[in-house]
Structures are given as C-alpha cells and as structure tokens.
Structure 1
Amino acid sequence: MSGFVGLIASDNRYNASSVLDKCQEEISRCCNDHLGRHQSPLIDLRFGWLKVDDDTDDDIQPFTDDAKVYITGDVRLDNRERLIELMQQKGVAVDNKIPDSHLVLYAFKTWEEGMMKYLAGDFSFAIWNEATETLFCARDHFGLVPFYYANTEHGFLFSNYYRCLKHVPNLFDELRTNVLQDYFFCGRNDSVEHTIYTKLFKLPPAHQISLKKGKLEISRYWSGTQKNTPVEKLTTSAYVARFYDILERSVGDRVRSKHVSCHLSGGMDSSSVTALTAKNHKERYGSAMGLNAYNFTLETNVVESETFYSKIIAEHLGIPLRHYLADQLAGHHAKDDQTWYPEPAGSLATVPDGGMLRDTLQRSRITLTGFGGDPLFGCQDEIWSSRILLNGVFKTVLDWGKFVVIHKRIPRLNVSTKKKKRKLAAKPFFSPPSWIREDFIDEEYLKAKIELAASPQALADGMSTHPFWPYLFEIGHPGFTGMKMKYLHPFFSLELFEFIKIVPPHLLNQKLILRAAMVEELPAVVVHRQKTLAYSFSRIQNLKKSGLLEFLKDKISSAPDFIKGVIDEPALHKEISDSELLKKADTKKIEALANILLWGLYDYRQTAN
C-alpha cells in the first residue's frame, strides 16, 4: 500500500515545494515505512509506503533504474508470474523478487502505453520520463485504487491520497453542485470523474492519462462490456474446476502476509474468500492462525443469524472469530466525531465497521471482503438474448434446457421494448426527500438519477460500469480514511470477471458454480444454504436508538450556508418529529443528511488554505 503525490510545474521556476512537504507529511501519518522523493526542474514526486506484504522488503519509490524514467504508485498486481514470463521472453531481466511497482516500470519500458493490456490488479500510478518530459498515469480496471488530479496555479497535480490534498491552497474552495446533490439525495458521489470540489477531478476506472508538453489526453484502455470468446466443449465439472483455480489464485495474489483479516458474514461470498485464505495460510505458513475473522449483526432484528453460520465456518477452518453487535457500534453522530474526511461519506464513529476496523488494525493491515460476489453471479436471467449472439442458437438452447432442469423454472429473456422502457422510466426508483428546497432540485439531474438507479449495479457488467463500486473503494482507501488498513476484494479480479462472462447461466444462478467449487472447503450446511436477506429491521428504530434524529434537530440550525440553503428546516423538523411521517420517510436520506451536516460542522475546508 502506497500514498503518492506529484506536481508537474507550469514553468521551470518550481515554487510549490512547501505545499508538497505538507502533502507528504499527511501521507506519512499512515504510510511511514518508507518515504521517498524525486525532484527535477519540472517535477516533484513524493511517496510514502505502508508495508502490507511479507514478500516485499524494498518497494522504494519513486523508482528508476536509469535516472531517466521514474514511477510512483500504489500497485498490487494479479498473476504477476505471467507478466514476468512475458517480459523475460522479451529479454528483460526481472525475477519473482521484484516489487510490483518496479515491475510496472519495466513493463512500460518494454511496451510503453501498450502495457495496459498485460496488467491486472489494484493500481494507480504515474510514470515520468525526464528525457521527453511526458507523464503517463493509469487507474485499474474496476477503480479499486483512486487517482485524483487538478490543474493548479503551480501546475498539474496528481495523487491517490485524497486527504493530503487539503493542504493545496484554494483547491477545496468551491463545491460541485451535482455531487452535492448526490450526497443529499442518495448519500454518495455517483460521478466517476468528479469529486465534490469543482477544481479536483477523478480519473475514472480503466482510464489512462498522457500529458505531453502541456497537452492532457484521457482515454479508456479497457471496456468491461466487451464480448469474450466462449470456451468450447467444457463440461460442468471443467467449468467448476477452472473457476476454483481462478478464485484460489485471486485470493492467493492478495494474501501475501501472515497477518490477515477477513469479513465473514456467513454467506457464500465472504465464506469462500475466508476458506481459501485459510487454505493459503496453511500451505504457506503451516497454520491458519495468522488469520482473524470478523462479523457483525443487529442484536434484536436479525431474521437469520449470520453469527450461527460464521461460527460454524470459523470452527471448521480452525480460525478465531470476533463478533460485533452493530447496535452497540453505530450512530455516534451526537458525539461530534472530530475526524476530517475529504467528502461527507460518513464517519468511522457513525458506522458499524468503525469499531471493527479499529480492532482489526491491532492484528493486521489487510482485510479481505466478499464484495463483488453478488453482481458477479447475480440476476443472470437477463443475459440470454446476448448469449444467442455470443454462442449461437444451438448451444444457448442447450443451456436454457439445463437451466430449466436444475432450477425448475423458465428464465426471463432480456428483450427491450418501448413499452418496457416507458414502464421503467415511470417507476419511482429515485425521488428527492420532502425537506429539500424545490429550487435545489434540477429536473435533468433527476432524470439522470432515475436512469442510473435502473442500471445494472447488481449484474456482472455493473462491476465495471456502475459508479457505486469505485466510490465504495475510494472511501475505504487509506488515503480517504487515514487508517492503516488496505481492503482487498478477490471477486474483483479481471481474470475471474472475464471467465464468468463465458460460463453458462444455469451454473451462475443461485451461485451454483461457487457452491460446487467450495464443497471440499466449507461445511455442507453453508454450501447448501440459500441466499436470504441478512436483516429485516426497522431503520426508524435504529435512527432513534442512535441519537441521530436528536443530532439533526439540535445542529441543523447552526449548519453551514451550503446546507441551510438547501434544507427546508420546518419540513425537516416536521418529518423527523412526527412518528407517522417518519414511518413513510426514506431513512437513508436522513442518514445522508446527518453525514453532510457532520462534515459541514467540522468545516471541510479547515486546513485547505
């Protein structure tokens, strides 16, 4: 895990060193195992390293092997053995001991920008060529690692570490209206290219930047919706075996430390990741006791006990499990948590994960999740029409027949019609809360929100196209939280993503291929467990219990102007004070408002100037 920041000066009179000193000092609060710098007349690169892998001891950056081309980045590569093999075939002297970031530099010197078709993993990086005065940057396929950039008075600024940018003068002066609307209406930033500040931008996932002689070019290097060539004549067992190999390799690529944590919910996704992590540890270290598992539930509103299943899995794998009651951890808005966050995405003091994260940090710097499992396998009925184009009628009909035999129902076809589109557009996927002033609501914005709400976040293609995922990764990155914890997501593997697109739908429904692959790794009661909603609870009850409603009533009158100008205070007070109105309210939007208010009260620009 690395934090980096760089600046290409607008002229030869470099004059922003003190600003970058402050940026690097901010990075060092988290990434302090090594600090590095490269400065020349046109560029200043700063770097901080947080060691998370036992097999890497010398990820020294900015790195160069010829004092001409330099790299700084936050890089973790998948299947690096294959990349090394390809480079060795080109005569490049690299071996398995080389750090991932250094390997990317050698790949760039081998294929230049064409290297992107050989890279996979979690990364954002910047490569500077002193001789040609050119900059090349890229962000990974799914946006697992952020990349921010801006044109400032000093020159072109870039970083993966959001928190450090608060020290850049005037960068956080103005708020972007459409992103502010996102936070008020749905509690997150739905833009893949804009931050909440008008002057600061994000590089979207699967995009690259080329900066040559002051000319900036941004382009996409990969599209997650492209078709894959089907694998012919694979049996069901062969599909399962190949899937298992890919998932096991994905977990192994991410588990390169003896001390690792896993979120273990008791469902198939996180359970599979935890089981393969335990297997990896036993093979590598002779024991899985360096692995810790965590889960949390709501004390009084659980429909099906996740704790029950997670305990069975932990005992089966021989690993310790720590269980948390979210009721006891969440909702401390009233305590005015004094932790600064770049955007109003919530606070560690206001979410259940906060207490879990602080505890996890005492044991490891890596946490693996099961995120991505649901969209990877979910709702596959809708792709039959594209299967006909991809595989032909005969093979698709065979797959359709297998689906009916296995799942005892006829799959739905995804046939778009004008009638269906009109029905979809009319469905109230998205609406503003009643306490938002009408002059803040833009009709074109609402239309865009309705269209986005209807897009396939829960489908495999949504993993590469829906803004929910990169936003989730951005706010969990150490550069946002300031915490020494790197989250890794094995289901967000390029190899796994591309393989799933050629798997017959009857093997994806109900995660059949995952269940079949994990028969030898997990208890039968877990493998055969049907997916259910983890909770059925009253969000109103939890809002009252957390003190959030009282926090809003008490603090809204002292809110900053950018909040007070949006809120109809009488309407808000009426909704959160009237029990009947509160039952009909969208409580997620109330929670979002509390996050914005907490962020605004703490003064989001307090150290910007």
Structure 2
Amino acid sequence: MCGYVSIYYKNNKYASLKEDVIEDINNKIFHRGPDDVGYFISEKVSLGFRRLSIIDVDNGKQPFNKGNTTMVFNGEIYNYLKLRQELKNKGYLFYTDSDTEVLLSAYIDMKEEMLDKLVGMYSFLIWDEEDKSLFGARDIFGIKPLYYIETEDFIAFASEYKSLVNLLDNRNLNKLSLQQYLSFQYPVGENTMFKDIKKIMPGHYFKIKDNKMIIEKYYDINYKSNESVTKEDVYNVIYNSIKSHMVSDVEVGTFLSGGVDSSIIAAIASKINPDIKSFSIGFGIDGYDELDIAKETADRLGIENIQINVTQDQYIRELPNIVRLLDDPLADPSAIGLYFLSREASKYVKVVLSGEGADELFGGYNIYKEYYSLKPFLNIPDRISSVINKMANSMPNIKGKNYLLRATTPLRQRYIGNAKIFENKDVENILRLYNSEYKYENITKDIYNEAENMGYDYVTTMQYIDMNTWLPGDILLKGDKMSMGASIELRVPFLDKNVFELSKGLSLKQKVTKKQSKVLLREAFEGIVPDHVVQKRKLGFPTPIRVWLKEELGDVVRKTIKDADVEQIINKEYAIELLDDHIRGVADNSRKVWTIFMFCLWHQIFVENLSVEFAH
C-alpha cells in the first residue's frame, strides 16, 4: 500500500533540521507510494508518508489525524468494515471510508488490545499527543516490514532501511548476520546486515515514552492438531479470505504460475471477478518455464493471462536496482523474477494476489515428505544412530550415503528452514571473520526448544522453523520489496489470521503423505482448480542461474567478487574456485556462488556507496 518514515526525538539537538531530515529519508522510498506524500512534524516526533492509493482514494491521505492521535500505516486491514461497525455501535463517528481511520479509531478505543481484533497485513506508528507516546506494531506473519535504529539522540523507523542508512554514524557490518546469511541466505530474526539497524519482529508491538522503548510480543504462532478440520472448512476459509483480499477501489489482478497455490487463488478470484487479469513469467529455458501450464490454467478458468519472458541480459541489467530495493542481501534468485512480474502487472493493476504462505500453512514443501522415508530410523536409540552416522561419514560418496547421514543426524542439527546454502564447515572456509558460536544450529536452537516443549511432530517442527525463519526472512521480504519496488501492492490471501487458525489444526496425514504434499488443501479444491494442476508436483519459482552462470552472468559475478572491497571479510579465492568448478561442471555451485555474489554486490552499494550499473 505505502511506506513511511518517522523520527522520535529524545532531545532538541536536531530541532532546526526536523523538516529537512524527514523529507530526505522519506524521498528514498518514493517507489512505495508515488501517488501522494504527507508529513507531520511536532516537538517530539516527525512522521513522513508515501502513498499508493488503494482504498478511499480521495480521503485516505496520511499522516492521518483523529483527536490527539496521528498515524502512518502501511498495509491493509481486511476486516475493517466489521471493526468499523463495532466502533460505530460504541458511538464513534467516521469521516472517511478508509481502513486507516478504522485502525486509528480502534487504537483510541482499545489501545494495544485492538491488535487481537485485526485481520490483515500491516505495520504502523501512532503518535499520542496527550500521552506523549509513540506506539507501533507489525502484523503476525511479518508481511509488512518495519526497521528502526536507536541512538542517544533519537529513535528512527522506516518501511525500508535505505531510509535509515544515512542516519548511521558508521556503517558497521553485523558479523553475526553475515555468518547467518551464508547458511540461511538472509539475516535471521531482528538483525540486519548493519549492526545498528534492527527489525521489529512479526507479531510484536512497541511503545516509546519518556525516551524509553519497550517491545512486546502480542501473537504466538503455534499449532494444535484436532483431527476435525474438513476440506469444506478449508475451502470456505480460503474463499472468504480471497474475497476480503479483493476489496479495493482500484483494479486487482493475480499472479499465476504452474502451481496449485496460485491456481487456487486465480480460480476463486475468477468466480468473484470473471474479468480478473492473471500474470505469468518465464525465462525461455527448458525446466525453468511453466508458461504453457499457466496459460492452460487461465484458459480453463476463462481469464486473461498476460505473460512475459525475461532474458539473461534483462536479468543482469536489473541486479543493482534489485539489491537497492531489497535493503539486506537476499540470495534467492527468484526475487529478480518477482520484480519483473510485478513491474509487468503494474502496467494493468495496482493490486495483485499471490500464493505465498500456502506451503508453510498446509505442508507444501517436498522436504516435509522426508519424514516418511526417514521414519525407520527416527526411533532407534541415540547410541546406535551415532554409530551409523560415523560409519556413513567414513563411506565414499556412494548411493545411500546422504540418506544415512540425514536419517542419523538429529533434525535440529541439519534443518534450518526450506533452503540451506552453506554448511558450517564451508562458512569457515569462506569467512575470514568466522565465529564458531554463530553456527546455524545455535541460531535455531530456541525455536527447536519451543517446538519440543509444545510436543510438535517431525513435520510440524519443520513448519514451525519455516514460519519463524524462511517465511519472514525470504518469502515475505522479497514479496514486499519487489512488488513495492514496482509500485504495486502484493496481497497474500493464504496468510490470513483466520486461515492460519484453521490450518494449525491439520493432522499429519492432512498435510503430507509419502507421495503427496498439501493433501487436504488439494482435496478442498478438486473440481475447482483444473485437474492438470491439482496433483502437480511442486516446482517452486525456478530461475536459470545454474545455466546463466556458465554464460554472461558468470562474467558479471566474477568481476563483482573480484572488485568488491571485501578482502578482509571474504576468501575471494575460494569463491572464484566455486564458480570455476561450476562452469567446468564439477559441481552445481550455483546457489553458493550466488550467495557470495549478492553479498559482494550489496557491499559495493550499501557499504562502499558505489553507483553500480551492469550495462549489458
């Protein structure tokens, strides 16, 4: 929907500069809201806002004031009409049709307790003039971002941290985040790649008063199987979510890949609006293109399908811009494709629906099915498992070795989310700043302990890890940054509080079997989603960097690694060796090389402050 910035002043040191500073940092997120701009400046706080007009286009301007409170808000409240009526019954008057006014009124009425009422994606800040306090929160999944820095003189917030970088005294690298990044492919938790920039975590709120900031958690992601969820329940809750996500005063479209998640959304959306447009992307390389499947799905649903093919040259040219938009480095090559898809969709619509979250909620990742193949080993005594593990480690690289290693290595020592790039021993080879205390299993230890205390089974534990790492750190980050980078709003109907509250009750067999993932979700939409999609194996969002690194892209990557001023951080010789082995076909090192490359490019742009361009 939008973006915002804010500075809470602990003293009057910057009194004469307030207006200039807030305008400068707000201009850095112009792409998040090209339709309008607004400011609120007082003795204690400054608020800046960029608007992408979606609901109540004429009256939804921000910062929004009501009584003694002023708010900036990024996102959408999907149950705002219900909340509006509840507040009207209490005597509240409304002067706009926007969800913004409803959100602020709910805060005036209930303070932080109103968070329990919200269904939506959001981050917001509310200045209470009477209480002299700044209150803010982020949605339960982390769909909308919120960064902050705190100094002796101020606390500053922004929807994207590029707005905050110039407020730093020093651009100090967060060594923990860098080590995390090499394994996870993104900085984990509250940390960013800069030591002094933090994230407000999903499901958390904060309050600043008398120059002190307190952060509290208001929502816990948890699971509880009840065996009573039916496919009718699943259909109804998802239908209602998609319907509420389509409420808009501007045109809404939908992304459409060859997978079941986006096809479910397109199928239901087409029932609600038969004229809805769908958007699909391909790369023109076998194995990395599902445009034919997307077109067949769209034809069967009777909706328009707008397709684009991205070339290697186009992909290379946009890389520096993508890194600027992402803020932190993200080693997920599909982010670039998502940007191109968003940019194409923005020519036709201002809002687009997408299928993120279905895998985490309904058990969609293929790796979840490994439970069944490893099951014979899961209950053997630890001492026997340890012996088999040592034997497997000493074996040559023959068929069955990896299976034995997985089967006899505890889940918490090897699973850190849906993607893992470098093992600890490899990180030690890459980093000149390696710290053994930052091993990836130490990062997820607390999450595993929580899962164990809750009694989660094998698959639910994997889901819980993904919900707390991969989903906010990769999936939702790229969804927000890439869509907002194209000035379009991405909505994710599967990541709805009501959908999650239902899905957390699924039994193991309703999520995955030995041969199938998302079992109950697929059953719920049989006969609605075309048959060629319902039972299709998950492919994901494939990007052909494996192929392109052996071509022109490899030259760009090699030069970037060599030119980046990271000799004291990264073992460049090791990185180039990985690239050379990939080009020669010794091993598929594409994701490892990409991870190092994206950090080097990020370092050039954000730390060295270079204006990098890839003219190709």
Both structures adopt the same fold (TM-score exceeding 0.5): yes
Q: Is the 8 A contact 1:5 1:45 kept in 2?
A: yes
Quote the offset at 1:162 in angstroms. Answer: 2.7
Letter in 2 for 1:3: G
User: 2:6 and 2:267 mapped to 1: Cα distance?
Assistant: 40
- The match for 1:164 is 163
> Structure 1 pair 605/62, CA: closer, same or farther in 2 (3 Å)?
farther
- The match for 2:2 is 2
- The match for 1:61 is 62
1:320-399 matches, cutoff 5 A: 320-325=304-309, 328=312, 331-332=315-316, 340-341=324-325, 342-345=327-330, 351-378=336-363
Moved more, 115-124 or 17-26: 17-26
Q: Is the 8 A contact 2:186 2:331 kept in 1?
A: no
Q: Deviations over 1:412-440 (max 9, x none)?
A: 99879856885446659651547944642
Of 283, 296, 299 in structure 1, the residue corresponding to residue 285 of structure 2 is 299
Match of 2:102, SS state, is: helix
- The match for 2:556 is 551
Of 450, 464, 483 in structure 1, the residue corresponding to residue 486 of structure 2 is 483
> Structure 1 pair 214/323, CA: closer, same or farther in 2 (3 Å)?
same
Of 564, 567, 578 in structure 1, the residue corresponding to residue 567 of structure 2 is 564
- The match for 2:579 is 576
Q: Is the 8 A contact 1:372 1:492 kept in 2?
A: yes
Q: Does residue 443 of the first structure (1) align with residue 440 of the second (2)?
A: no
Q: Is the 8 A contact 1:259 1:366 kept in 2?
A: yes
User: 1:185 and 1:333 mapped to 2: Cα distance?
Assistant: 27
Q: Does residue 247 of the first structure (1) align with residue 245 of the second (2)?
A: no
Q: Does residue 225 of the first structure (1) align with residue 222 of the second (2)?
A: yes
Q: Does residue 34 of the first structure (1) align with residue 36 of the second (2)?
A: yes
Length-normalised TM-score, structure 2: 0.80
- The match for 1:200 is 197
Letter in 2 for 1:542: W
Match of 2:59, SS state, is: coil
Q: Any stretches of 5+ residues in structure 2 without a counterpart? A: 386-406, 452-458, 612-616
Q: Is the 8 A contact 1:16 1:154 kept in 2?
A: no
Identity of aligned residues (%): 22
- The match for 1:125 is 124
User: 2:44 and 2:217 mapped to 1: Cα distance?
Assistant: 27
Q: Is the 8 A contact 2:123 2:145 kept in 1?
A: yes
User: 2:83 and 2:318 mapped to 1: Cα distance?
Assistant: 51
Aligned length: 561
User: 1:460 and 1:338 mapped to 2: Cα distance?
Assistant: 29
User: 1:490 and 1:205 mapped to 2: Cα distance?
Assistant: 17
Letter in 2 for 1:491: F
Q: Does residue 175 of the first structure (1) align with residue 173 of the second (2)?
A: yes
1:427-438 matches, cutoff 5 A: 430-432=422-424, 433=426, 436-437=429-430
Match of 1:345, SS state, is: coil
- The match for 2:614 is none
User: 1:516 and 1:591 mapped to 2: Cα distance?
Assistant: 37
Q: Is the 8 A contact 1:293 1:319 kept in 2?
A: no
User: 1:194 and 1:451 mapped to 2: Cα distance?
Assistant: 14
Letter in 2 for 1:320: E
Q: Is the 8 A contact 1:134 1:210 kept in 2?
A: yes
Q: Deviations over 1:343-375 (max 9, x none)?
A: 223699983334333322211222221111122
> Structure 1 pair 20/250, CA: closer, same or farther in 2 (3 Å)?
same
Length-normalised TM-score, structure 1: 0.81
Q: Does residue 278 of the first structure (1) align with residue 270 of the second (2)?
A: yes
Quote the offset at 1:201 in angstroms. Answer: 0.9
Q: Any stretches of 5+ residues in structure 1 without a counterpart? A: 283-287, 384-407
For the aligned residue pairs, the C-alpha RMSD in angstroms reads 3.9
- The match for 2:254 is 262
- The match for 2:477 is 474
Q: Deviations over 1:196-224 (max 9, x none)?
A: 11111100000010112122111100101
Q: Deviations over 1:255-275 (max 9, x none)?
A: 234533322112211100111
Q: Deviations over 1:499-537 (max 9, x none)?
A: 11224444444434333432453223333x242446999
- The match for 1:595 is 598
Q: Deviations over 1:455-497 (max 9, x none)?
A: 9799553464225434432344359964302221111111001
Q: Does residue 87 of the first structure (1) align with residue 87 of the second (2)?
A: yes
User: 1:412 and 1:273 mapped to 2: Cα distance?
Assistant: 38
